Amino acid sequence: MRVLITGATGFVGRHLTERLLEQGHEVVGLSREAEGSPGARQVRCDIRDPHVLVRRLESIDPDAVVHLAAVSFLPDVERDPGRAFEVNVNGTLALLTSVQRAQPLARVVLLSSAEVYGRSSLAAESPLSEDLPVRPVTLYGASKAAAEHVAQALAREQLDLVVLRPFNLIGPGQRAEFVLPAFARQVARLERMEALEPDESADGERVLRHGNLEAVRDFLDVRDAARAIEEVLKLSRDQVRPGEVFNLCSGKGVSIAALLNELLDRARRKIRAENDPELLREVDLPELVGDPGRLRERTGFQAGTPFADTVEAVLEEARATGSP
């Protein structure tokens, strides 16, 4: 299978590329950057430009397209919502209409987000099913909900489209601003300190600063997510409805406090956690845990990487980089 991946140089894209290549697929990465993963051809393109997209699709001739390109870090969206909607919504529209025109038989997998559940997650029992209404409370969630609506409208015109709603994907290679690598880098930095900084702690302890620890999230290793995406790509047309939605999750809720404790238990020095009000978000859903039943029933997919192993891998990566 020849698979075109938008956003191939991103966190999920790199892991998905590696997975597909290992399984014998041909991979072409589409991104604004020149370099991609070893073994995959990289094509430069702005997904907001449908004229260039059509030419790229005609020359690549993919059997499937996985759409990952997006502005996905919530603070980035809040700082520049116009750009986020331009990429997340208009980019999705440009890509899907280009696929319809140039490669109408290709399977398309759109990565959305569990953030689209929003207020529904406050009212519904956990875990959340795909049948709940979309009621986002963040700008990022709103941009992804809008992208889903665009995709669903085109799917009704016989576009072979599947929507995946990932919950919290974690693993090696994630941007340092996300919760697990952010904590891991703090731990690694505090481990390396030979002498404490004067303002680090009044009583001489190493201090890790955090925001809200009460939120509960559904964490899934990105390598498991890549395996699930491959399984969805292999589903035949009679196994999935056009525009069908699947949660991409583990089905297990873990508090941010438990995640932090996993890291602190592995720290090579004693570290004390301390709340920092400046790290609190104005909008933070208390619980976001998904029901993976539909995806498991259709593909047999189950999360296979233990949470503790993922945490260890991210911490070891933070130690190896030596970044502040």
Question: pLDDT at residue 324 above 60?
Answer: no
What pLDDT, on a 0 to 100 scale, did the predictor assign at position 322?
Answer: 72
What pLDDT, on a 0 to 100 scale, did the predictor assign at position 197?
Answer: 54
Q: What mean pLDDT is reported for the chain?
A: 92
Only one residue has tokens 């997006």, namely 70
114-154, pLDDT tens digit by residue? 999 999 999 999 999 999 999 999 999 999 999 999 999 99
Higher pLDDT, 75 or 244: 244
Architecture of domain 2-170+219-251+290-301 in CATH?
3-Layer(aba) Sandwich (3.40)
The helix-helix angle for 91-102 and 50-60 (nearest 10°) equals 40
- Alpha-carbon span 283 to 246, nearest angstrom: 25
74-113, pLDDT tens digit by residue? 889 999 999 999 999 999 999 999 999 999 999 999 999 9
Residues 6+ apart with CB under 8 A from 54: 98, 101, 102
Percentage of the chain with pLDDT > 90? 83
What pLDDT, on a 0 to 100 scale, did the predictor assign at position 317?
Answer: 97
- Averaged over 178-191, what is the pLDDT? 94
What pLDDT, on a 0 to 100 scale, did the predictor assign at position 239?
Answer: 95
251-260, pLDDT tens digit by residue? 999 999 999 9
Q: Which residue, 229, 220, 101, 106, is CA-closest to 163?
A: 229
Q: Can you give the C-alpha Rg of the chain in angstroms?
A: 20
Stated pTM of the model:
0.93
Only one residue has tokens 């059509």, namely 54
What pLDDT, on a 0 to 100 scale, did the predictor assign at position 32?
Answer: 80
What pLDDT, on a 0 to 100 scale, did the predictor assign at position 211?
Answer: 84
Q: Are 65 and 98 in contact (CB under 8 A)?
A: no
What pLDDT, on a 0 to 100 scale, did the predictor assign at position 271?
Answer: 94
> Which DSSP helix (H) or strand (E) runs through 246?
strand 244-248
What pLDDT, on a 0 to 100 scale, did the predictor assign at position 169?
Answer: 98
Question: pLDDT at residue 30 above 70?
Answer: yes
185-233, pLDDT tens digit by residue? 999 999 988 644 544 544 557 899 998 899 999 999 999 999 999 999 9
